């Protein structure tokens, strides 16, 4: 079981400013549209995006949020996101590791797009504990992960999503496993 360190992520962004082709990929664009639909129209009072990368999805989500915080571990990615999101004063970009950088606030929307399966088992446990503590009653968690396994990810998409669906504090409201990704929208009980 592999694991990408913060330095591994930073190195990828230094070698290629868009290492996963977020800006151009048809896969990413379709996933972003499905993820936005799963989030709902909003407006969200206070939203959190885990693993915001260079801010492509953040830019799409921002108009639906009165306040939006996005976190990424890579310094280069966070700097690029700050530049991309400069016209959105309600957006805060945090450079830090998940779960340690998760703010002590309450959120009515939390988005985890292709990030939870990169976490170590301990960090996944801690992150889900923080999500549970920070997501308001009736708030929504939207998780989406690429289905094919990767040696740099300790978990598969199926494992992460099975865990989310099995948590008694979350009520599944939408699920999509038809494509190359797994997407779940779950509301906090």
> What pLDDT, in 10s, does the model give residues 84-104?
999 999 999 999 999 999 999
pLDDT over 90, % of the chain? 86
State the pLDDT at residue 62: 98
- CA dihedral for 92, 109, 185, 126, sign (positive or negative): positive
**pTM, rounded to two decimals:** 0.94
pLDDT over 70, % of the chain? 99
Confidence of residue 2 (pLDDT cuts 50, 70, 90): low
pLDDT at 55 over 60: yes
CA–CA gap between residue 95 and residue 86 (Å, rounded)? 15
6-188 under CATH 3.40.50.300, yes or no: no
How large is the average pLDDT for residues 75-85?
Answer: 97
Helix (H) or strand (E) holding 12: helix 6-15
């Amino acid at each position: 079981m592999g694991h990408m360190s913060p330095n591994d992520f930073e190195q990828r962004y230094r070698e290629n400013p868009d290492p996963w082709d977020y800006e151009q990929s048809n896969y990413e664009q379709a996933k972003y549209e499905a993820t936005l639909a799963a989030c709902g129209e909003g407006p969200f009072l206070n939203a959190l995006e885990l693993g915001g990368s260079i801010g492509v999805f953040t830019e799409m989500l921002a108009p639906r949020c009165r306040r939006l915080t996005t976190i990424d571990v890579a310094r280069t990615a966070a700097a690029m996101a700050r530049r991309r999101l400069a016209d959105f004063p309600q957006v805060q970009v945090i450079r830090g590791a998940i779960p340690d950088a998760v703010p002590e606030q309450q959120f009515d929307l939390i988005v985890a797009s292709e990030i939870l399966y990169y976490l170590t088992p301990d960090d996944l446990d801690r992150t889900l504990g923080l999500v549970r503590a920070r997501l308001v009653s009736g708030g929504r968690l939207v998780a989406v992960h690429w289905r094919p396994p990767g040696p740099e990810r300790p978990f598969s998409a199926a494992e992460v999503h099975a865990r989310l669906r099995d948590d008694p504090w979350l009520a599944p409201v939408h699920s999509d496993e038809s494509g190359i990704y797994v997407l779940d929208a779950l509301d906090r009980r």
